[in-house]
Amino acid sequence: MIKGGFQGKILRVNLTSGKIMAEDLNEDWAKKFVGGRGYGTKIMYEEVDPKVDPLSEKNKVIIATGPLGGTLAPSSGRTMVVTKGPLTGTIACSNAGGYFGPALKHAGFDMVVIEGKAKEPVYLWIYKGEAELRCAKDIWGKTSDEADKILRDKTHPKAETMEIGPAGEKQSLVANVMFNGHRAAGRTGVGAVLGSKNFKGIAVRGNLGVKVAEPEKFMEAVYKTREILSKDAFSGGGAAMLGTAMLVNVINGVGAFPTKNAQDAYFPEAEKISGETLRERNLIRNEGCAVCPIGCGRVTEIKEGKYKGAHGGGPEYESVWALGAMCGVSDLDAVVMANYLCDKYGMDTISAGSTVACGMELYEEGYIPKEDSPLPLTFGSGEALVEAIKLMGEQKGKLGKLLAQGSYRLGEHYGHPELSMSVKKQEFPAYDPRGVKGIGLEYATSNRGACHVRGYTIAPEVLTGAADRLKYEGKGELVKTFQDLTSALDSTSICLFTTFGLGGEDIALLLSTATGFKVDINEFMKIGERIWNLERLFNIKAGFSRKDDNLPMRILKEPIKTGPSKGEIEELDKMLDDYYKVRGWDKNGIPTNEKLKALGLLD
Amino acid sequence: MKVLILDPLKCTGCQACEYACSFQHTGVFNPLDSRIEVSAFFEDLSFVPTLCLQCEKAYCVEVCPTSALTKNDQTGVVDFDKDKCIGCKQCIIACPWGSIKLNCVGKEIIKCDNCEGDPACVKVCSAKALTFEEVEDVVLAKQKGTAARLKEIGKDLAKGVSS
């Protein structure tokens, strides 16, 4: 019997039959994989063939919270979207902030499993432990912010919502899942999976409480962790002041800021798109996700020029980079506008921006014939950026349709897939591996394609300086540790940003006092390693192995041209051998039976 | 006398106040049992907390037929005695702020009691949108703020006169 944290119920929604069932949470799985990403992956592993076409009826989507969601544990508002990602073909877990996850808990459920395919567009309304599928024909085609409002109008004025935008409906491979129209589970094309199922979204409103196993000890841990976060330089100061875009000057300052499709890693105009400039030029106020003491969210407005009056959430660091430096664009208003448009269409800003950048290089090199492009796609043009995002979002014309498939397929179509800055066909984020060695290993081995938030080694390699960013030694161990920690963290509902101040032992304490499970730091890390290996097993069954743990040729061969990391390339292979060794995997990146046995993954 | 001060401009909408409030009063995290309510305006992403302002002329007290609600002159709080309440809900209708409500099961009246002088909501408000302050200090701070602005305006005016 689980004593607290979890609600103990999973909602299973079969769109083909229209049948909705509440199931009991599997306590054994909860102990081994916690909730969120871990438990969601376990469901995928048990129920979905890894070889399945991600956009077919047989794929499933799990909307999952963890045991700390809906409590006062700091920054515990994350919601996970677990599925097989159509951009990558790997296991996918994208997550978003906001208020949806806690609301789902308060409605009585730890997660929702969505399976099958609806004949016509539908949405799900979850209210006080009950759920029903409703017609969404009149919401289909609406942007995410419009859909958010309509869903609330149709259900409850205080309902929280999850929705896909037009990009998801049209199964764009860069489509995300939006929450309340402005928070995004961005990566791996998860929105397209919901689109393929004719599923527009969920509205949820609850009235149940979340209990914890040891209330006094839990609250002691809550106050302690909130206090630590309030004193940390990032979570207690910089993040609220400048948002995550505070990193623009930091990362450009070490010459690891991919510029113009990573032709370089230093953007001379970075100051124009920095967190400081964003604060001065566009910031209205901060937004905090559920029970978050950090409040890094930006509420912004464009105050002058041709986009005057547009307003919304963000942009955060990765978006500023992808839509800015990666496209060579220093016109902050255009970047902010492109960010709003991505949210409205429901597209991942990282993949969208990096795909436009790839398009710009293909265009400038003459690989995209002029007749294919309704506008000159040139680096540095804010106008080209905004127009390209519109083409992508609306899938207008040949180029629009190609852009919507992400940079790899765009490059491949025009004969130059090597110009896609991606791993496993997913665009990498805002840190150039040539200037920060460990993060390249992280991109290469990430279970959902290139990604920074599977193991944020930027913290030790750049922010604290605990590890030398230009050295290769010890990076296997470093990457493994961060990947394992994050896997466990993502299974609790707590936001990764808490780890700037908190250690795994703090999270383990919150987890154990909430659930009554005995979880110390060692067990917490082991849970993380177990989840990481289970994700890897899914990918191996889907056909991935060492050959796919790679980086774009440019990162491996072309030295950085200017800036503080000038002359650097990334030597991945030697780190990869080291990494597989510390993981207990064979030379081909397959987990050994010994390792699987130790993790309890071998029956 | 200390009062809870709300500053909507600083509110990030995180709702930690609601979670802390419900836990303080019920031992469970449930925003529906919170005495404080954060309203979200998603059209412009603004957030406004509201709660009982412990009115001097408290309509809820006036309409309560059983004296379950009484104004405590010492603490300034409008006290609620659950045992005297008959659940007629007239206080809900009378309250101009919507700050008296039913609990999560829709049966019991709940309202802010300032946590007996140590409000749980204030403790978790990182953005400092909620503070618990002496009324006199609030007045003094406001006076000083206004005075400081006048001082600056005065300087400019003085320049105008002398030139």
Question: Per-residue pLDDT tens for A50-87?
Answer: 999 999 999 999 999 999 999 999 999 999 999 999 99
Measured between alpha carbons, how far is A55 from A53 in angstroms, rounded to an integer?
Answer: 5
Label residue B20 by pLDDT band (50, 70, 90). Answer: very high
CB within 8 Å of A583: residues ≥ 6 apart: A476, A480, A591, A595
Residues of chain A positioned with their CB less than 8 A from the CB of B30:
106, 207-210
Distance of CA A208 to the CA centre of its chain: 29
Domain boundaries, chain B: 54-110
Residue pair A430/A321 in contact by the 8 Å Cβ criterion:
yes
Structure confidence at residue B155 (pLDDT)? 80
Whether B32 and chain A come into contact, CB under 8 Å, resolves to yes
Please judge whether B12 and A288 are an interchain contact, meaning their C-beta atoms are less than 8 angstroms apart: yes
Which amino acid belongs to residue A344?
Answer: K
Residues of chain A positioned with their CB less than 8 A from the CB of B32:
106, 206-207
Residues of chain B positioned with their CB less than 8 A from the CB of A71:
19, 29
Residues of chain B positioned with their CB less than 8 A from the CB of A156:
none
Measured between alpha carbons, how far is B114 from B123 in angstroms, rounded to an integer?
Answer: 12
Whether B124 and chain A come into contact, CB under 8 Å, resolves to yes
Structure confidence at residue B162 (pLDDT)? 53
Considering the four listed CATH numbers 3.30.2090.10, 3.40.50.10800, 2.130.10.10, 3.30.70.20, the one that applies to the domain covering B54-110 is 3.30.70.20
State chain B's mean pLDDT as an integer: 93
Strand A183-185 and strand A422-423: the pairing is unpaired
Question: Per-residue pLDDT tens for B130-157?
Answer: 999 998 988 998 899 999 999 888 887 7
Nearest residue, CB atoms, A70 vs list B14, B16, B29: B29
Residue pair A194/A61 in contact by the 8 Å Cβ criterion:
yes
Q: Enumerate the H helices of A48-122 as residue ranges.
A: 100-106
Nearest residue, CB atoms, A149 vs list B13, B42, B45: B42
Query: pTM of the prediction?
Result: 0.96
Before A315, cis peptide (omega within 30)?
yes
Measured between alpha carbons, how far is A435 from A578 in angstroms, rounded to an integer?
Answer: 19
- CA geometry: angle at A159 spanning A157 and A160, to 5°? 135
Residue pair A257/A269 in contact by the 8 Å Cβ criterion:
no
Q: Enumerate the H helices of A458-501 as residue ranges.
A: 458, 475-489
Measured between alpha carbons, how far is B103 from B32 in angstroms, rounded to an integer?
Answer: 6
Residue pair A95/A80 in contact by the 8 Å Cβ criterion:
yes
Structure confidence at residue A129 (pLDDT)? 87
Distance of CA B33 to the CA centre of its chain: 16
Q: How far A69 CA sits from the closest chain B CA (Å)?
A: 10
Residues of chain A positioned with their CB less than 8 A from the CB of B124:
72, 226, 291, 293
Whether A219 and chain B come into contact, CB under 8 Å, resolves to yes
Q: How big is chain A by its Cα radius of gyration, in Å? A: 22
Give which of B34, B59, B108, B71 is closest to A291, Cα–Cα: B34
Measured between alpha carbons, how far is A592 from B31 in angstroms, rounded to an integer?
Answer: 47
Strand A122-127 and strand A130-135: the pairing is antiparallel
Q: Which DSSP string do the residues of A185-247 spell out, in sequence order?
A: E-GGGHHHHHHHTTEEEEEEE----B--SSHHHHHHHHHHHHHHHHHSTIIIIIHHHH-GGGH
Phi, psi of A479 (to 5 degrees): -65, -45
DSSP assigned state of A515 = H
Label residue B1 by pLDDT band (50, 70, 90). Answer: confident
Measured between alpha carbons, how far is B130 from A229 in angstroms, rounded to an integer?
Answer: 19
Residue pair A553/A422 in contact by the 8 Å Cβ criterion:
no
Measured between alpha carbons, how far is A115 from A281 in angstroms, rounded to an integer?
Answer: 44
DSSP assigned state of B101 = E
Domains and CATH numbers, chain A: 9-205 (3.60.9.10), 244-426 (1.10.569.10), 433-500+520-598 (1.10.599.10)
Label residue B161 by pLDDT band (50, 70, 90). Answer: low
Give which of A275, A337, A285, A282 is closest to A310, Cα–Cα: A337
Give which of A153, A156, A132 is closest to A142, Cα–Cα: A153
- For residue A348, give both structure tokens: 């991942």
Question: Per-residue pLDDT tens for A93-118?
Answer: 999 999 999 999 999 999 999 999 99
Nearest residue, CB atoms, A290 vs list B15, B44, B127: B15
* A-B contacts at Cβ under 8 angstroms: 98
Phi, psi of B50 (to 5 degrees): -135, 145
Question: Does residue A48 come out as left (phi exceeding 0), alpha (psi in the -120 to 50 range) or beta?
Answer: beta
Please judge whether B31 and A106 are an interchain contact, meaning their C-beta atoms are less than 8 angstroms apart: yes
Please judge whether B12 and A285 are an interchain contact, meaning their C-beta atoms are less than 8 angstroms apart: yes
Query: For residue B2, what is the enclosing H or E element?
Result: strand B2-6
Phi, psi of A482 (to 5 degrees): -70, -35
Structure confidence at residue B138 (pLDDT)? 87
Whether B107 and chain A come into contact, CB under 8 Å, resolves to no
- For residue A253, give both structure tokens: 């300052």
Low-confidence residues of chain A: pLDDT under 70: none
Nearest residue, CB atoms, B104 vs list A207, A240, A312: A207
Residues of chain B positioned with their CB less than 8 A from the CB of A181:
42
- For residue A372, give both structure tokens: 């294919």
Measured between alpha carbons, how far is A171 from A190 in angstroms, rounded to an integer?
Answer: 9
In a mutagenesis test of the A interface, which of B7, B14, B123 is the best target, namely the one with the most A β-carbons within 10 Å? B14
CB within 8 Å of A21: residues ≥ 6 apart: A11, A12
Structure confidence at residue A128 (pLDDT)? 86
- Tokens 């991600």 -> residue: A54
3-state secondary structure of B162: helix
Label residue B43 by pLDDT band (50, 70, 90). Answer: confident
Q: How far B18 CA sits from the closest chain A CA (Å)?
A: 9
Whether B97 and chain A come into contact, CB under 8 Å, resolves to no
- CA geometry: angle at B70 spanning B64 and B76, to 5°? 140
